[in-house]
Structure 1
Amino acid sequence: MERMSARRPRDGKQRLFSIPPGTPFLPAFARALLEGRLVEGFPGNPSDPLALANATIYVPTRRAARALRSILVDINPAKGLSAKAVSGFAFGNASEKKSAILPTIKPLGDVDEDAAFFNAGSSGVFDINPPIGTAERLLLLARLIRPWRESLPSHVRALFGVDDVSVPATTSDAIWLARDLAGLMDQVETDGAKWSELATIAPEDLADWWQVTLGFLNIVTNLWPDILAERKLSNPAAHRNDLIWSEVKRLRTHPPAGPVIVAGSTGSIPATAELISAIAELPNGAVVLPGLDRDLDDAAWQLLASATDNPSTYGHPQFGLRKLLDAMQTLREDVEHLDDMPASKRLRERVVSEALRPAETTDAWGKLDMEADSLHAAAQTIDLIEAANERGGGAGRRSRLARCDQ
């Protein structure tokens, strides 16, 4: 699908915000929205039942969308108090029978393909091939994988010495390999990477064995695209990316009249980052980031931009946000912090920032101007939860994560 590289001219400064990590994100976002802090002149009179109706809000997941709807339902815009929900699409005080239409809340990347047909500027949706089904993809890939070992060139088979190539030995093996191969395809397409770059990344001492891998991946680089083209289908990740790019094009060519806000995303997927950029450029657009570090010094912040020279920075919690701001051509100083936290939580935020400082700049710890009592006080509400592995999670597992009580 054709992608737009030209940016729509900005009429003014982008509306970029961040909610501190010690503050519950969605409740703080809902308050800022209703108080008119995100988009000038919106929502106007919050007691108007149609005040929020023409707004569109993007959040990272379906779960976040459900949670935000519930929070908006529970907020009485007239009194600013908690109230019982009147219905799933309204908010208000149940005793007063008030109700109102909620904004449109969408998960990022979950573009409504059917609704897009009726939007101005979405004609490109008609050119997007539908995604292939999960079972159909696995079976087709397994059919390509099954004869793979017989098709290996003799010089590649010689690398195995006296041992015969035994994988895949059965159809079951082929299906398992197909599942992994499908996951790899989705990851590569989600990240916007190019299969053509695979041939250049192998170290010299692995060059021969790398040919085995390249031979196997020939299934997706050469054979699989022809199968998709013949069936007029696309991979699920590519289909999602194309829908997002179609939405980007629509927003830039036909800006909606109502506010468009994206909240809580770090833009880790390139297509999503471009959608966030497009929303930030809208006259009524706003972006609310989750926990942008405002305490990290310039030296450490600049280090996060050098991931090519220093791969360790990929693991820093702020790497994704730094990459997103760079893609938006925006400085960290341009982001407004929706800061309603007490001094104790503000101090804790600074301590956590220092604890997560990139290793190359930890010499700055010796220059901290915090007193021991302040550090001790900031750590009082932080617990250490140990995990069995880097991913953590799961019942009964222990995770090495700092948990900050609200």
Structure 2
Amino acid sequence: MMFPQSPTPRVFHLPLGCDFPKTIARGLEQRLHGHDPMSWAKTTLIFNTRRSEQRVTELLASGPARLLPRIKLLSGLDDTPETRAIPQPVSRIRRHLELAQLIDALLTASPELAPRSALFDLADSLARLIDEIQSEAVDPEAIRNIDVSDHSAHWQRTQQFLTIAQQYLAETSLPDKENRQGMVVDALIGTWLKNPPEHPIILAGSTGSRGTTARLMRAIASLPQGAVILPGFDTSMTTRDWANLSSEKHKAEDHPQYRLKAFMDEVDVSPDQVQPWDETVAAEPTKRTQLISLALRPAPITDQWLSEGPKLGDLEECCEDITLLNAPSPRLEAQAISIGIRDAVEQGKTVALISPDRTLTRRVSAALDRWRIRADDSAGIPLHLTAPGRLLDQTARLMGEPVTADTLLALLKNPLVFSGGDRGNHLRWTRNLEIYIRKYGMPFPTEELLVAWANGEKDEGVGTWASLIGRAVSVLSATSTQPLPHLIKVHLKYAELLSTGDSSQGDGALWLRDEGKKALQTVTLLQQDAVYGNDLSPHDYQALFHRILANEEVRDREQPRPDVFIWGTLEARVGGADIVILAGLNEGSWPEAAAHDPWLNRKMRNEVGLLSPDRKLGLSAHDFQIAAAGPKIWLSRSARSSDAETVPSRWLNRITNLVQGLPKQNGEAAYKGMLARGDKWLRLAIELEKPQQKVEPAKRPAPRPPVGARPRHLSVTRFKHLIRDPYNVYARDILKLKPLHSLRRSADALLRGTVVHSVFEEFIKQNGIQTPDPVDTILNIAEEVLAQKAPWPTAQRLWLGQLSRIAHEFVEQEKVRQQYGAPTLLEQKGKLTFADISFDLTAQADRIDMTETGSAIIYDYKTGTPPQKKPQLLFDRQLLLQMLMIEEGAFSELGPVPAESGVFLKVGSSLQSMPAPIDATSITEIKTELRALILAYDNPDQGYLARRQTEKDTYANEYDHLSRFGEWDITDEPNPEVLK
């Protein structure tokens, strides 16, 4: 026999700081030494994590030659005739869909209970509650019978949802995963009671935090050859300390050792009866484990800091292997950690990064890519962040909604789109389409618009490509509320079509590699269980599909390094690394903030026997305590998150407060030493972030291009830039750089101006003032123009409402204007040539009216604020220059005629007229000054100065980034640069 008879349940421990797998293997060898070789094969080891199973198996298989024990996971115990007869569990997806149907029926009957958009969130949360009910063996009737008479109406509404959980548990014929695990455990316990096994059964690494696992541990500990091995046992705690954890006055469920004490109480074993599993492990705890243990004592007995703190001795020696990293930002924290990992690799040491913050661990992984270091990340990547997951998610988000340009282009740039077709041409056509959209706009691409664009490309094959893309987009966006199997079929059909592209050349890479296979497995399960879902709208389908993808993870199997690990907090119990980095030590991250429970408050959970938030906090503290017992450790945090200051983890605060509070033991020096070691890595991270070469700030540009390259024609609207910001003219009219629009075109001021021009131009063309109801004519024209030029329902309603408020006033003013002059030219182009200096002045007049005396009045519609008198005289000479052009005969249909006046007509929330200040100048003076300005820039020494005379500091200029404004100031001297 491996174990001698024992009057009490057999419980062993693994002390803090030991190598879990090595200690398990060594203790097994000690107990089986000299036994029959078959004893190894008859022994059963049960672990709670796959990493523990793998590492112990590797160690035992490494030699000497022997039979291996049967090694199992808690989730793989169904290998007996009794357990194999238990029905297989229903999938999580099926249960999710079934609960969603029940909740949907409840919300339909009582819509005031919750918004329908929360349907799948409620289903997820209710599924987690059901898991907990089954794991803790809670009678659903107990939840139903909770007295809510003294609670708010919220709790009474909650009862209606909890009734769904009870109904589901009562009516479902097949178990789910948690329920089946409980049935397996109960079947095993029942078999053992009838026929106790004579071979050793050992369960190691679990604290019994879940009810099902605790039942199994109690049963195994009581078997004739059974044993339970508790991880992370604090041997520095006294009998008094253990008693304080479960005192009647204060149950310290948030203490790291509480769950171990609770299990010992359940099996009626005292802490001094828990024996070490490996006799060779030092019985005395290290100074570091004593320090951590003392720091984490329950709050009511922190007076022990003063009595027991001096027993720790010299804290500088105690803390010499602790590095405290206080980074100013998450980015620098990740960068410093990555540098530390690289240093460990170069020294031939193993290093493990432990953190519940997956964003931080992904940052570290990305930083390690700089040195081609691929960590063995146990958590993997969420499926929706992989290329197949993104493609499936992107196509799902097209369903039932108009497709926007940015959404379409993001989809086309997915690396799997056209992976089975002509990928090279696909990328080229995608680039051309993006440039077209940025230049001319296509807010909502459709099959017709895409084909029309392709017809103008004159490129062989682009028409077929655009038709395929357009067909997929159109079908997906046209989906409506349908049965779930139909929505899945349509979705996957077109996702595969986009992936394969030209199927004659390949099948696409959507379902290839590990992530593709995982995606295929996930959608196949969804297809199989889709019959349990009800009819869904496309929006509901998007939410469901994204949630299903986000709940799955893909492990990267591309040969990670065997000496760099990224672990979750539960895997901290496995240990085995030379350097352990505990990162993300901020409140809300580690320990994680208590999850919001929409169903039961703390009192209710305690009343029915569900897990309390404090118990979860204690389990997290236990993982921290085990990890902090590593040979060398880092304690790392960032002072800020992405948007706010952070609060250090309570455990980190306790450790630093304890160390600094013991000055006689060199506590202050020990704290500074920990910080200094962390600052070393921070300095390296900051240095790494610096540019490799010192970059001098740019100087204020004033380029001097050759005279022959300077523009020989400008429109009247460009002269204000030539005066205020000549660099703008240099970039646009000499370098020919025109800004591209955003992919997601918005209903901006520029477009609103275009719409207003088009509405009033058409109104004047139709002689709308003579119609029976001119106001209705304006509004009818506006509806047509808005439908063509502004395909945003919100903008259409807002702009139509604004036009309707001013339409009557505009008609009344227009009647006065037309009594004075008749509209003659609309949107007319004109050109005035200065032959002696080889320069053309161009314009497109919004409207020119002719009076009975033969003079012209020019009008310009403005949706913004028109320039006042002084700016018009000095800078914004648009109307004055057009009046010059009229008198010089630049508009051929008019010939030279007198220009009586020019008027800006503001059309916004109100109507306003702003005349050109022709009375303060003259046409002759305007012409003279214009010629002087043109001739000034014919001088090769005249540069195009950036921001020469802007009206305001906030002057917006689309070429500021090109001039590197910000590196120089408007008070800086120009830096003339002669260009050739």
Q: TM-score normalized by structure 1?
A: 0.74
Once residues 344 and 322 of structure 1 are traced to their aligned partners in structure 2, the CA distance between those partners, rounded to angstroms, is: 20
Q: Secondary structure at the match of 1:370?
A: helix
**Conserved in 2, the CA contact under 8 Å of 1:299 and 1:361?**
no
Once residues 404 and 196 of structure 1 are traced to their aligned partners in structure 2, the CA distance between those partners, rounded to angstroms, is: 44
- 1:332-375 deviation line (CA, Å, top 9, x unaligned): 11011235456996222222211111111111222116356433
Report the AA paired with residue 293 of structure 1. D
- Corresponding residue number in structure 1 for 2:571: none
Q: Secondary structure at the match of 1:333?
A: helix
- Corresponding residue number in structure 2 for 1:367: 307
Once residues 193 and 30 of structure 1 are traced to their aligned partners in structure 2, the CA distance between those partners, rounded to angstroms, is: 37
Q: Secondary structure at the match of 1:262?
A: strand
Report the AA paired with residue 396 of structure 1. L
Deviation at 1:191, TM superposition (A): 2.1
| Structure 2 CA distance for partners of 1:270 and 1:144, relative to 1, 3 Å | same
Once residues 241 and 277 of structure 1 are traced to their aligned partners in structure 2, the CA distance between those partners, rounded to angstroms, is: 14
- Corresponding residue number in structure 1 for 2:54: 66
Please list, as runs of the form range in 1=range in 2, the aligned pairs for 1:200-215 lying within 5 A after superposition.
200=146, 204=150, 206-215=151-160
Once residues 271 and 166 of structure 1 are traced to their aligned partners in structure 2, the CA distance between those partners, rounded to angstroms, is: 33
Whether 1:108 aligns to 2:56 is: no
Once residues 329 and 212 of structure 1 are traced to their aligned partners in structure 2, the CA distance between those partners, rounded to angstroms, is: 42
Once residues 255 and 146 of structure 1 are traced to their aligned partners in structure 2, the CA distance between those partners, rounded to angstroms, is: 48
- 1:118-154 deviation line (CA, Å, top 9, x unaligned): xxxx3x764x4542222221221111111213434xx
How many matched pairs?
339
| Structure 2 CA distance for partners of 1:405 and 1:380, relative to 1, 3 Å | farther
Greater Cα radius of gyration, structure 1 or 2: 2
Please list, as runs of the form range in 1=range in 2, the aligned pairs for 1:197-346 lying within 5 A after superposition.
197-198=142-143, 199-200=145-146, 204=150, 206-221=151-166, 223-228=167-172, 232-306=173-247, 310=250, 313-337=252-276, 338=278, 340-341=280-281, 346=286
Q: Secondary structure at the match of 2:269?
A: coil
**Conserved in 2, the CA contact under 8 Å of 1:293 and 1:318?**
yes
Please list, as runs of the form range in 1=range in 2, the aligned pairs for 1:349-364 lying within 5 A after superposition.
349-364=289-304
Report the AA paired with residue 24 of structure 1. D
**Conserved in 1, the CA contact under 8 Å of 2:48 and 2:205?**
yes
Report the AA paired with residue 294 of structure 1. T
Deviation at 1:318, TM superposition (A): 0.6
| Structure 2 CA distance for partners of 1:240 and 1:372, relative to 1, 3 Å | closer
Please list, as runs of the form range in 1=range in 2, the aligned pairs for 1:177-188 lying within 5 A after superposition.
177-188=122-133
Once residues 273 and 372 of structure 1 are traced to their aligned partners in structure 2, the CA distance between those partners, rounded to angstroms, is: 35
Whether 1:44 aligns to 2:229 is: no
- Corresponding residue number in structure 2 for 1:19: 14
| Structure 2 CA distance for partners of 1:377 and 1:246, relative to 1, 3 Å | same
| Structure 2 CA distance for partners of 1:272 and 1:166, relative to 1, 3 Å | closer
- Corresponding residue number in structure 2 for 1:167: 115
- Corresponding residue number in structure 2 for 1:161: none
Q: Secondary structure at the match of 2:256?
A: coil
| Structure 2 CA distance for partners of 1:272 and 1:165, relative to 1, 3 Å | closer
Deviates more, 1:336-345 or 1:257-266: 336-345
| Structure 2 CA distance for partners of 1:235 and 1:207, relative to 1, 3 Å | farther
- Corresponding residue number in structure 1 for 2:651: none
| Structure 2 CA distance for partners of 1:343 and 1:266, relative to 1, 3 Å | closer
| Structure 2 CA distance for partners of 1:59 and 1:149, relative to 1, 3 Å | same
Gaps of 5+ in 1: 1-9, 37-41, 77-91, 93-99, 158-163
| Structure 2 CA distance for partners of 1:293 and 1:386, relative to 1, 3 Å | farther
Once residues 331 and 149 of structure 1 are traced to their aligned partners in structure 2, the CA distance between those partners, rounded to angstroms, is: 52
**Conserved in 1, the CA contact under 8 Å of 2:27 and 2:279?**
no
Higher relative contact order (CA closer than 8 Å, sequence separation 6+): 1
Report the AA paired with residue 302 of structure 2. T
**Conserved in 2, the CA contact under 8 Å of 1:19 and 1:339?**
no
- Corresponding residue number in structure 1 for 2:89: 131
Once residues 630 and 198 of structure 2 are traced to their aligned partners in structure 1, the CA distance between those partners, rounded to angstroms, is: 40
Aligned mate of 1:392, from 338, 356, 359: 356
Gaps of 5+ in 2: 331-354, 362-582, 586-623, 632-980
Q: Secondary structure at the match of 1:314?
A: coil
| Structure 2 CA distance for partners of 1:296 and 1:343, relative to 1, 3 Å | closer
**Conserved in 2, the CA contact under 8 Å of 1:267 and 1:276?**
yes
| Structure 2 CA distance for partners of 1:289 and 1:395, relative to 1, 3 Å | same
| Structure 2 CA distance for partners of 1:373 and 1:331, relative to 1, 3 Å | closer
Task: Give me the identity figure in percent.
Answer: 27
Deviation at 1:13, TM superposition (A): 4.5
| Structure 2 CA distance for partners of 1:344 and 1:241, relative to 1, 3 Å | closer
Once residues 372 and 15 of structure 1 are traced to their aligned partners in structure 2, the CA distance between those partners, rounded to angstroms, is: 32
- 1:33-61 deviation line (CA, Å, top 9, x unaligned): 1011xxxxx35348x4x341111111112
Q: TM-score normalized by structure 2?
A: 0.32
- 1:91-130 deviation line (CA, Å, top 9, x unaligned): x3xxxxxxx3211011124322xx211xxxx3x764x454
**Conserved in 2, the CA contact under 8 Å of 1:268 and 1:320?**
yes
Once residues 300 and 203 of structure 1 are traced to their aligned partners in structure 2, the CA distance between those partners, rounded to angstroms, is: 40
Deviates more, 1:271-280 or 1:365-374: 365-374
| Structure 2 CA distance for partners of 1:377 and 1:193, relative to 1, 3 Å | farther
**Conserved in 2, the CA contact under 8 Å of 1:344 and 1:378?**
no
| Structure 2 CA distance for partners of 1:348 and 1:57, relative to 1, 3 Å | same
- 1:260-287 deviation line (CA, Å, top 9, x unaligned): 1111111112222222222222222222
Report the AA paired with residue 187 of structure 1. E
- Corresponding residue number in structure 2 for 1:79: none
Q: Secondary structure at the match of 1:17?
A: strand
Deviation at 1:202, TM superposition (A): 5.2
| Structure 2 CA distance for partners of 1:217 and 1:52, relative to 1, 3 Å | same
**Conserved in 2, the CA contact under 8 Å of 1:27 and 1:71?**
yes
**Conserved in 1, the CA contact under 8 Å of 2:11 and 2:221?**
yes
Q: Secondary structure at the match of 1:252?
A: helix
Q: Secondary structure at the match of 2:360?
A: coil
- Corresponding residue number in structure 2 for 1:55: 43
Report the AA paired with residue 224 of structure 2. P
Q: Secondary structure at the match of 2:105?
A: coil
Once residues 291 and 339 of structure 1 are traced to their aligned partners in structure 2, the CA distance between those partners, rounded to angstroms, is: 16
Deviates more, 1:244-253 or 1:317-326: 244-253
Q: Secondary structure at the match of 1:368?
A: helix
Once residues 33 and 25 of structure 1 are traced to their aligned partners in structure 2, the CA distance between those partners, rounded to angstroms, is: 12
- 1:233-263 deviation line (CA, Å, top 9, x unaligned): 1232111111111112222321223211111
Report the AA paired with residue 346 of structure 1. T
**Conserved in 1, the CA contact under 8 Å of 2:14 and 2:230?**
yes
- After superposition, the CA RMSD in angstroms is 3.0
